[in-house]
Amino acid sequence: MSTAERPEGVLPYREVRDSKGRIYRVGETDRDILGHSRKLMVYLPWIAMMAISVSEYAYGSAEDTLSDAHGWTQSNTFWILSVWVFFQAGIAFPAGWLREKGLLTARRAMYLGSGLCLIGFVALSHLDNVFAAIVGFGVVGGLGSGLVYATCINMVGKWFPERRGAKTGFVNGGFAYGALPFIFIFNYWFDTGDYHEVLDLIGVYVLIVVAVCAWFFKDPPKNWWPADIDPIGYAGNAKSAAVLAKNPPAVRQYTPKEAIRTGMLPLMWVSLVLTAGVSIFGISFQVDYAKDVGFGPLVAASSMGIMSVINGVGRGVVGWLSDLWGRKTTLVFVIVVLGLAQFGVIWAGNVHNQVLFLFFAFLSGFGGGAFYPMFAALTPDYFGENYNATNYGLVYSGKLISGLFGGGLGSMVVDAWGYDGAYALAGGISMVAAAVALLLRQPGRPRTRGIAPNPQPVSREAV
């Protein structure tokens, strides 16, 4: 029944409390709140994520031309990306805090992000000074992309609390394979004669796409739960019931301080730092390593293209898989695959086998992206949705550190130990990250994962 049809005096929603004290707001449909299906809150964030993906996943393919055009060294270009990663991740926590305080709406965050992204690409295009480019693209562009990224991930998590694995994975995937056309543009049609026009047009493209998507963004009310699913007994939808049995909702809504005190949020942070560092290393150096071992531009571009596509598609597949296996099991599996792929890349390069190289690029791309939606889904699974923008911002801030040792410090390791030593170190770090992830468990829930079957209504006035 829509809000307009509801009889006067009848509450548009009710709130029920489970045995742990968690409150669920049920009764309002997505159409009551949005005026249309909540599916739009999957597709629009996905499109926006595809638009901003060029900043990170295609950057490695553009660095040779950028170096030649501006007179930068390879180290200069990698540090620019490292600074971009630092600020892209760093804005997630303050942006989440501002959103949850009501000082920044989702729509305004997206608008602001789109404008900052445009400034970033214009700076990369027109500024020869390395420091100026770091400020323009690394700082300003990184902040813009981070605002868009964090807002999109939190939006889908809030609207799909009962099936967030597959939905979050799908949206997150756009951040990788959305860069595919630009990877080939940068490898074949990007040179010192046209780089101004290409980068300026990309900035305008990002601005328009993100701003159009932002117009429709709207958060659900706090504690909102889909009207057709019982949050206590999971009745009403067989698919959602199976997912919730494997990934039960958080026992309550944890504030950031409470989430930190459980010990689980810091563990997530450490695991993400290590895993994202390995992923960023692969993104930054795979094209150069392919060229270094003599595979040529086609294989180099194809390997990065494969990594980008599988990185994105893998996020969606693993998100769906986590709904069946459980988040923690799936996360550990993904991190182990990423680690093994690093050793495989060394092997393929040493035997000069292009097919093997592309295969391990496939595995590296799969593992190097699929862990992101797992952390994005685990955070509200463990700590609830109401403070998810801030809690996930804290977890995702681990990428601040990852960007430094994955890109900039990674280049130093390559210089000191060569590609074989650097890839071997990356593989070992990934295995440590998997061991840390094994320690994760949902706070406050017994291992039987039981939930009391009898919800208690809570009297509330309509809003």
Mean pLDDT is lowest, of 31-35, 189-193, 199-203, for 189-193
* Structural domain contains residue 9: no
Q: What is the dihedral of CA 383, 95, 166, 158, to 10 degrees?
A: 60
Q: Which amino acid is at 230?
A: D
Residue-wise pLDDT tens digits, 233-270: 765 566 666 777 788 888 889 999 999 999 999 999 99
- Are 348 and 357 in contact by the 8 Å Cβ rule? The answer is yes
> Rounded mean pLDDT of 157-164?
85
Domain with residue 387: its CATH number is 1.20.1250.20
> Rounded mean pLDDT of 347-351?
84
As a whole number, the mean pLDDT across the chain is 83
* Structural domain contains residue 422: yes
pLDDT of residue 303: 64
- Are 392 and 376 in contact by the 8 Å Cβ rule? The answer is yes
Q: Which domain holds residue 51?
A: 23-442
Q: Given CA atoms 412, 418, 424, 426 in this order, what sign does their dihedral have? A: positive
- Are 175 and 53 in contact by the 8 Å Cβ rule? The answer is yes
User: Regarding predicted confidence, which is higher, 103 or 445?
Assistant: 103
Instruction: Kindly tell me if the per-residue pLDDT of 405 is higher than 80.
Output: no
d(CA 129, CA 390): 35
d(CA 380, CA 251): 10
* Structural domain contains residue 246: yes
* Structural domain contains residue 102: yes
d(CA 171, CA 45): 6
Instruction: Kindly tell me if the per-residue pLDDT of 10 is higher than 70.
Output: no
At 462 the three-state DSSP class reads coil
pLDDT of residue 343: 93
pLDDT of residue 459: 41
Domain count, the chain: 1
In angstroms, the Cα distances linking 449 to 26, 113, 271, 272 are 22, 40, 24, 25
- Are 369 and 169 in contact by the 8 Å Cβ rule? The answer is no
* Structural domain contains residue 435: yes
* Structural domain contains residue 27: yes
